[in-house]
Amino acid sequence: MSSNRRPIAVAAAVLTAAALGATAFTLPAAAEGAAPAAAAAQAAAAPIPVVGGTLDWGVLASFRAYVTGMAQGKITTADGATQNADGTFRFGSATGQYDKDGGHVVKAAFKGSATFESAAHGFVIKMENFRFDTGTKKLTVDITRNGTLTKDVPAATVAFGGMNMSGLTTTLTKELAEQLSGPYEGREGDKLTAALEFQKPPSPSPSASTPTSPSPSAPTPSTPSAPTPSADGPQKILRGKLTWGVMASFHDYVGEKGITTSGGATKNGKTFDFSFGKGELDAEKQKLNAAFEGAVRFEYAAHGLDLTFGNIRIETAGKTGTLILDAKTATGTGKDIPFATLDLSKGDYKTKGGLLTLESVPAVFTEKGSAVFANGNSVPEKYKPGQPMDPVTLSVAVDKDATLPTPSATSTATGGTGTTGGTTTTGGSAGGSVGGGSVGGSAGGSAGGNLAATGSEVPAGALLGASATVVAAGAGAVYLGRRRRTVLG
């Protein structure tokens, strides 16, 4: 519920309020100047209202997949909420406040609801009134399960850190697990991204008794650097990295012992990092072509599965893109397969410091990509064209001095949704087969309403930035964010 669920909005810069309150001005000692100064100080100390914004979160990607898959149910949104391309949800009309003098705490509430319903498994679960508190690091929601309303359910703890609200890790609580009737306590949920707008403070009116500029001894607020202007024409990519998990449910089905990497690819938890080969970026025309080296192999001898992906290439044009790869299956090797469609509708091609990062970009199966998983056999609903897989994160540098982000800055946890990021499924009944083997196992679930045991997924997203000059309600900046080798054997 991904790079933004991920890319992707940037909120107003709220730390400016601190700068306004801390900046020293030379004021006359006359009584007539004291009152305006006191009023200004009081205004600077007051909490700053939240006047708009959105929250992106999907609860848990594998839970959503269970509802629409094994449970044969449906997911609907209402009251202003919408469902993102990666399967996560967007709740809007944010209200709340930022209290800089109370520990820099942000409290925000969002409108909209998401309902999970399955007649076959006997449950209707409606979640609404989402709100968070960066002080307690809690995400709270009202839940109505089969007609019974429970208010103020602590759904997840959120890894808030400072004013960064992009792609935050969430951990599901015992209380939410009880509402979902599944073993979700302590599991990592979808990533959370918030983009908030804060009320702009009134401009001070200059007077004869109040200087209009700081004294020589007063600190001068710094101005944040703007993104590096994009160069005209195509630029050669000098370095880069691609992070992708393929599909979480497939990863879990095969198991750790059945997964190997080679040729420049490395395993990083449930995702894979592929080293850069070659490519170019044309920011002006919003085009990118980047090829990456390395391969990942999935083997499950008992089910006759042997599937290898390699020679991955990312091609984008404007708001859409394609992940192209070579695939070796039990029936042969396919070259240059358009495997996944990428959604860049929330992205931006502007580079910053010579670096472009596309983070947690939602990815869905193409028809040919679905066919690779099907391999001539029946495919469950979630593997059909248009169904989500793991999101894609890549960074490319076009400047020799640009530094690629560390894994923590652009990591794409498997199953993300991400926002921000793409959605995948874990655990649950995956059905179908790849290379002649059945993909996935039993998900559990019962007509009594106990939901299937599923794994954790993660999406991504946006950044709530901090500026040291003015609190702007609409301040925005976007971080969007091969040498051909035969590695399949």
Q: Which residues form the domain of 277?
A: 235-427
Residue 362 lies in a domain: yes
Q: What percent of the chain has pLDDT over 90?
A: 43
Residue 345 lies in a domain: yes
Model confidence over 102-155: pLDDT tens digits? 678 999 999 999 999 999 999 999 999 999 999 999 999 999 999 999 999 999
96 closest CA partner among 126, 135, 39: 135
Residue 241 lies in a domain: yes
Single pTM value for the model: 0.42
Model confidence over 12-70: pLDDT tens digits? 333 333 333 333 333 334 444 555 555 555 656 688 999 999 999 999 999 999 999 99
State the Cα–Cα distance between residues 2 and 390, nearest whole angstrom. Answer: 9
Model confidence over 211-258: pLDDT tens digits? 444 444 333 333 333 344 446 678 999 999 999 999 888 888 888 889
Residue 23 lies in a domain: no
By residue count, the chain amounts to 489
Residue 161 lies in a domain: no
Residue 382 lies in a domain: yes
The domain tally of the chain equals: 1
Residue 319 lies in a domain: yes
Residue 36 lies in a domain: no
